[in-house]
Amino acid sequence: MTREQTIEAIRIMQAYVDGKEVEFKWGSMDWNSTDKPEWNWSAYDYRIKPTPVLRPWTEDDVPLGAWMRVKDSNCGHRRVLICGTYDELTRSTWLSTSEHSTDGGKTWLPCGVVEEAK
């Protein structure tokens, strides 16, 4: 291992000691979670499991025609039909205050996109 690889290995191992989830992979296989890593650095790659991040919709992400409501509104608050993509500030506000449904109100989801953290 190079010095830089050793520093990264220590960072990942310390995260594991601190209770973070660690993943491993071999060659071109997908990343897999493990609760008992072998720390076989010559055979496997390891990483700290990325934490999903919710980001506001872009103009292209907005599901036009979906219903939107204020979060945590169980008392029948007004639902509105999403009929425009609006501006970045509006979409950012939706992320923190609202949720949307594309199935007529059976399922409500955040007004944003879940991405894997880098």
Two tokens, residue 17:
């000691």
Can you give the residue range of the structural domain that contains 17? 3-49
Domain boundary among 49, 64, 79: 49
Residue 42 sits in the same domain as residue 80: no
75 has pLDDT over 60: no
CB 13 within 8 Å of CB 78 = no
> Measured between alpha carbons, how far apart are the two ends of the chain, in Å?
23
Task: Tell me which amino acid residue 3 is.
Answer: R
**Alpha helix stretches (DSSP H) within the chain:** 3-17, 88-97
Residue 45 sits in the same domain as residue 60: no
Instruction: Identify the pLDDT of residue 74.
Output: 62
111 has pLDDT over 90: yes
Domain boundary among 11, 34, 49: 49
Find all residues with CB under 8 Å of 71, minimum gap 6, and list them: 97, 98, 99
Residue 61 sits in the same domain as residue 106: yes
Domain count, the chain: 2
In tens, the pLDDT along 10-64 reads 999 999 999 999 999 999 999 999 999 999 999 999 999 998 999 999 999 999 9
d(CA 100, CA 64): 11
Quote the pTM value: 0.61
Residue 58 sits in the same domain as residue 45: no
